[in-house]
C-alpha cells in the first residue's frame, strides 16, 4: 500500500522586489555596507513575499510577543487558502480529510494553527491533527512521511500544510554576514498537498524516504528564539558539508528501487541558496537543467523555509513534462545538519 500526492495548493502574501527592498530598507539597515549589497544581489532572488513587508512596518526592534501576535493574525488565512486550494485540486472536499498535518517553525500559538484550520475548513470532528514545529527548512519531508503513514494505515486522504512567515523575524541592525545572508534569502509562503491512498488516479506516488544527520555540524545551522524574534545562524560551510553526504544518501535511497541519479526525471531540491543547488548538481553529476525548477522558485519566491520544496514540486508538476513511471526526487536540508529526501514516481 502506498500514498499519492494528488493535489497541490499555495497561498502567497504580498510580493516585493529584492532590489526595491534593498534600496528602501536594508541598505540603511545594514549601514550602507557594500558587502551586504553584494550578498543581496548574488542571492539568486528577484522577488519575495511578506505578510509584513519591511517597506511598510519595521519589526526589527519588536519583541517576540509582538511578532507572535502577527503570526496569529496572518498565518491562519494563508494556511486556509493553501489547504482549500489543494483539496479542490485533488477533487475532494474537506469532509474527506482524515488528517491535517501542519509544519511551521516561524510562529507559535495555542490553540495551534492546526486547531484553527480544522475549524475554519470545517474538517470532520474525528479528523486527526499533527503539528510539526521548529524543525526548519527540511520539515516538509519528515512531515510528508508521517502523513503518508496515516494514509496507508487508514486508507483515508490527508493534507500536509507548510506555512512560514519568516518576514516576522527581521533582526536588529548588524554586520554579521550570516544574518545578512538570511535576510537576503528568506520569504513567506503557505503550500499544501493532498495525499490519497495508492489506488487514487494520477499524481505522484511516494516510494520511500531517507534522512541523514551529521550531528558533528549542529552549530552550522540554528534557529534560536530570542527577545527580538527568531534568529538564524547559517554557516558558509553548509554547502561543503552537504556535498560530503548528498551522493551517498541519494544513491542509497534510489538503489533500493534499482535506480541511479541518472534515471531520475525530476528534481525538486530545496533552494537554500545558489551554492547549495550548485553543490547538489555537481555531486550528483546532474545536467544544468536539473535545478531549473528550484532556481525558478528561488528567483520568484525566495527561500520560504519548509514550504519551499512543495513550491518546487508544484513547479515541477506544472512545467516538468513528467510521464507515467518517471522517478522524481524531492530533497531538503535543515538544522542538524539534516538532509531529507523522498523518492516519488509519476503515475
Q: What's 199's DSSP letter?
A: T
Cβ(76)–Cβ(35) below 8 Å: no
Q: pTM higher than 0.95, yes or no?
A: yes
Q: What's the half-sphere exposure (Cβ side, CA atoms, 13 Å) at 82?
A: 33
Name the helix (H) or strand (E) containing 3: strand 3-11
Q: Among candidates 339, 70, 54, which has minimal Cα distance to 215?
A: 339
pLDDT attached to residue 198 = 83
Instruction: State the residue for C-alpha cell 554547502.
Output: 239
Q: Which of 105, 137, 304, 340 is catalytic?
A: 137
Class of domain 3-197: alpha beta
- Catalytic (active site) residue 304: no
The Cα 339–Cα 280 span in angstroms is 11
Q: Which residues contact 15 (CB under 8 A, 6 or more apart)?
A: 47, 48, 49
Q: What are the Cα distances from residue 69, in Å, to 45, 62, 227?
A: 28, 11, 14
Q: What are the Cα distances from residue 139, in Å, to 24, 225, 331, 341?
A: 33, 18, 11, 11
- Strand segments, DSSP code E, in 121-265 are 128-133, 158-165, 188-197, 204-213, 221-226, 229-234
The Cα 6–Cα 97 span in angstroms is 13
The Cα 120–Cα 128 span in angstroms is 15
pLDDT attached to residue 199 = 74
Can you give the pLDDT of all 347 residues of the chain as single tens digits?
A: 799 999 999 999 999 999 999 999 999 999 999 999 999 999 999 999 999 999 999 999 999 999 999 999 999 999 999 999 999 999 999 999 999 999 999 999 999 999 999 999 999 999 999 999 999 999 999 999 999 999 999 999 999 999 999 999 999 999 899 999 999 999 999 999 999 998 767 799 999 999 999 999 998 999 999 999 999 988 889 999 999 999 999 999 999 999 999 999 999 999 999 999 999 999 999 998 999 999 999 999 999 999 999 999 999 999 989 999 999 999 999 999 999 999 999 99
The Cα 42–Cα 94 span in angstroms is 42
> Which ranges of 189-271 does DSSP label H, i.e. alpha helix?
238-255
Q: Is 34 exposed, middle or buried (0-12, 13-18, 19+ CB in 10 A)?
A: exposed
How far is residue 8 CA from its own chain's centroid?
Answer: 13
Class of domain 204-346: alpha beta
Q: Among candidates 145, 330, 332, which has minimal Cα distance to 238?
A: 332
Domain coordinates in residue numbering, the chain: 3-197, 204-346
The Cα 330–Cα 249 span in angstroms is 12
What is the SS3 assignment for 256-285? CCCCCHHHCCEEEECCCCHHHHHHHHHHCC
The Cα 5–Cα 7 span in angstroms is 6
Amino acid at each position: 500500500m502506498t500514498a499519492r500526492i494528488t493535489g497541490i495548493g499555495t497561498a502567497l502574501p504580498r510580493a516585493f522586489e529584492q532590489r526595491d527592498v534593498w534600496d528602501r530598507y536594508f541598505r540603511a539597515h545594514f549601514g550602507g555596507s557594500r558587502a551586504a549589497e553584494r550578498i543581496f544581489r548574488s542571492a539568486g532572488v528577484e522577488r519575495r513575499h511578506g505578510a509584513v513587508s519591511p517597506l511598510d512596518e519595521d519589526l526589527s526592534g519588536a519583541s517576540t510577543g509582538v511578532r507572535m501576535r502577527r503570526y496569529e493574525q496572518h498565518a491562519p488565512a494563508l494556511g486556509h487558502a493553501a489547504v482549500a486550494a489543494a483539496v479542490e485540486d485533488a477533487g475532494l472536499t474537506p469532509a474527506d480529510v482524515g488528517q491535517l498535518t501542519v509544519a511551521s517553525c516561524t510562529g507559535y500559538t495555542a490553540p495551534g494553527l492546526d486547531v484553527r484550520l480544522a475549524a475554519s475548513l470545517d474538517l470532520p470532528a474525528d479528523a486527526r491533527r499533527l503539528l510539526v514545529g521548529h524543525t526548519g527548512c527540511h520539515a516538509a519531508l519528515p512531515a510528508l512521511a508521517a502523513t503518508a503513514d496515516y494514509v496507508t494505515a487508514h486508507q483515508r486522504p490527508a493534507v500536509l500544510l507548510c506555512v512560514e512567515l519568516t518576514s516576522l523575524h527581521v533582526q536588529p541592525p548588524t554586520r554579521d554576514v550570516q544574518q545578512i545572508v538570511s535576510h537576503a534569502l528568506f520569504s513567506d509562503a503557505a503550500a499544501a498537498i493532498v495525499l490519497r491512498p495508492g489506488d487514487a488516479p494520477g499524481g505522484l506516488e511516494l516510494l520511500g524516504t531517507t534522512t541523514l544527520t551529521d550531528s558533528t555540524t549542529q552549530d552550522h545551522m540554528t534557529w534560536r528564539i530570542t527577545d527580538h524574534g527568531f534568529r538564524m545562524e547559517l554557516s558558509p560551510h553548509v554547502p561543503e558539508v552537504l556535498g560530503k553526504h548528498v551522493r551517498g544518501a541519494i544513491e542509497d535511497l534510489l538503489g533500493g528501487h534499482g535506480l541511479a541519479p541518472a534515471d531520475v526525471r525530476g528534481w525538486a531540491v530545496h533552494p537554500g541558496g545558489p551554492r547549495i543547488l550548485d553543490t547538489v548538481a555537481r555531486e550528483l553529476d546532474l545536467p544544468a537543467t536539473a535545478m531549473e525548477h528550484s532556481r525558478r522558485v528561488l528567483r520568484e519566491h525566495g527561500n520560504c523555509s519548509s514550504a519551499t520544496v512543495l513550491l518546487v514540486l508544484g513547479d515541477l508538476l506544472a512545467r516538468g513534462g513528467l510521464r507515467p513511471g518517471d522517478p522524481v526526487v524531492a530533497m531538503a536540508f535543515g538544522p542538524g545538519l539534516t538532509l531529507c529526501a523522498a523518492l516519488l514516481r509519476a503515475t
